[in-house]
Amino acid sequence: MGEKHVVRFEPVGIEIDVEEEQNVLRAAAEQGITLMHGCKEGQCAACKSFVLEGEDIELDKYSTFALPDFELDEGFTLLCRAHVYEDVTIELLNYDEEMIRSGLPIQSAVATVVSNENVTHDLRHLVLSLPRGEEFRFFPGQYVDIGIPGTAATRSFSMANTSAKESGQLEFVIKCYPGGMFSEFLDTRLAVGDVLDITGPFGVFTLRDSPAELVFVGGGAGMAPILSVLRSLAERDPLRKATFYYGARAKRDLCFEPELRSLEQQLPNFSYVPALSEPVEGEQWDGEVGFVTDVVRKHETDLRRTDAYVCGPPPMVEAAITVLSDLGAPEQRIFYDKFTTTGESETTPATGRAST
């Protein structure tokens, strides 16, 4: 085990001890401090922060899209990649007072596949069962890392259910990509009764306590955490006004329609608005047509007092953030998870200190 150093976060005045082998984000999470994050792999920039004091910091491999060289030179860093070799002070650029001390313990478990069914031609509904009697707590909207059997690799997947307390189960909605390391395994090999290693929970895509109206924008497997949050809304706050815009290419890409329509019956102020960007000619469709972001722009006029939650592929998330901001949604009230991928991207090797 390497040496430990103190990392102080400003402006919140929290201090944690970080071992040299650990990245700062992980050390914080293990000490119950939830910092803003997304991919945990240097891809999404959600954990970007500014180094106020200290220089001896080494970064694991990251994408220069998340941290361009000029920002590194100015003193920015990625907490999910940063290892510290002296005491440092970090300014959090983006933090959430409500979340920061609400961290749940990170756990590992071996879960068993209960079902692995298609919900569309390329989306799977995977249900895992936790070992009997084992508690695995998470907030609706959070995710776990699932190990790919036979490899050291993991992939992140958001829970679609609200809790494992009674069922002992975790539910996921997973998109299958041809050649995808995890998803092809899921598509072609993973069977009922197989076991998977899971670690979590992670993520800050959780419903904040607020009376504000809600707008959800999702695409593809972004359905999973939004479904989890909507299911929790039905349990906790059924009168809150909420609209869920879901973007799909064609009718065959829509999933959980009966449940979403039944939520409209249960929640008097909830609407579900699916939008098809490439409807099949001749197929019956009375709903919205076009990119989901254009449909949001068409339906909404003033989001100044709205909390927005966005989840799905990074380009959709970025387009949605622009539209929501144009419509007045405050930047700090737009919560999102970008489903970044782990595959190779433009990366840069460690900087700031030679590897030890």
Ligand X SMILES: Cc1cc2nc3c(=O)[nH]c(=O)nc-3n(C[C@H](O)[C@H](O)[C@H](O)COP(=O)(O)OP(=O)(O)OC[C@H]3O[C@@H](n4cnc5c(N)ncnc54)[C@H](O)[C@@H]3O)c2cc1C
Tell me which residues touch ligand X (CB under 6 A).
38-39, 143, 155-158, 172-175, 177, 179-183, 203, 221, 224, 313, 337, 339-343
Nearer to ligand X, 42 or 203 (CB): 203
Partner whose footprint covers residue 158, from ligand FES, ligand X, none (CB < 5 to 8 Å by kind): ligand X
For residue 159, the 8-state DSSP code is B
Q: Report 26-45 residues binding ligand FES (CB under 6 A).
A: 37-40, 42-45
Signed CA dihedral, 298, 338, 141, 250: sign only: positive
**3-class DSSP state for residue 29?**
helix
Residue 37 CB, shortest distance to ligand FES, in Å, is: 4
Partner whose footprint covers residue 66, from ligand X, ligand FES, none (CB < 5 to 8 Å by kind): ligand FES
Q: Is there a contact between 45 and 66 (Cβ–Cβ < 8 Å)? A: yes
**Counting beta carbons within 10 angstroms of the beta carbon of residue 65, is it exposed (0 to 12), middle (13 to 18) or buried (19 or more)?**
middle
Two tokens, residue 56: 């001896």
Question: Residue 240 — φ and ψ, nearest 5°?
Answer: -65, 140
Task: Quote the CA–CA distance of 185 and 319 in Å, as a whole number.
Answer: 31
Two tokens, residue 245: 């815009």
The closest alpha carbon to 28, from 41, 18, 40, belongs to 18
Q: Report 205-264 residues binding ligand FES (CB under 6 A).
A: none
User: Among residues 7, 24, 29, 47, which is the contact residue for ligand FES, using CB under 6 A?
Assistant: 47
Partner whose footprint covers residue 46, from ligand FES, ligand X, none (CB < 5 to 8 Å by kind): ligand FES
Residue 38 CB, shortest distance to ligand FES, in Å, is: 4
Partner whose footprint covers residue 311, from ligand FES, ligand X, none (CB < 5 to 8 Å by kind): none
| CA geometry: angle 294, 300, 304, nearest 5 deg | 120
Partner whose footprint covers residue 78, from ligand X, ligand FES, none (CB < 5 to 8 Å by kind): ligand FES
72 interacts with ligand FES by CB under 6 A: no
Nearer to ligand FES, 37 or 155 (CB): 37
Residue 331 CB, shortest distance to ligand X, in Å, is: 20
Residue 80 CB, shortest distance to ligand FES, in Å, is: 3
Signed CA dihedral, 66, 142, 160, 308: sign only: negative
Q: Under 8 Å CB-to-CB from 327, ≥6 apart: which residues? A: 296, 297, 300, 301, 302, 303
80 interacts with ligand FES by CB under 6 A: yes
Partner whose footprint covers residue 182, from ligand X, ligand FES, none (CB < 5 to 8 Å by kind): ligand X
Task: Quote the CA–CA distance of 217 and 316 in Å, as a whole number.
Answer: 9
Task: Quote the CA–CA distance of 156 and 324 in Å, as a whole number.
Answer: 26
92 interacts with ligand FES by CB under 6 A: no
141 interacts with ligand FES by CB under 6 A: no
Residue 218 CB, shortest distance to ligand FES, in Å, is: 19
**3-class DSSP state for residue 156?**
strand
Residue 56 CB, shortest distance to ligand FES, in Å, is: 20
Residues interacting with ligand FES, by CB under 6 A?
A: 37-40, 42-47, 66, 78, 80
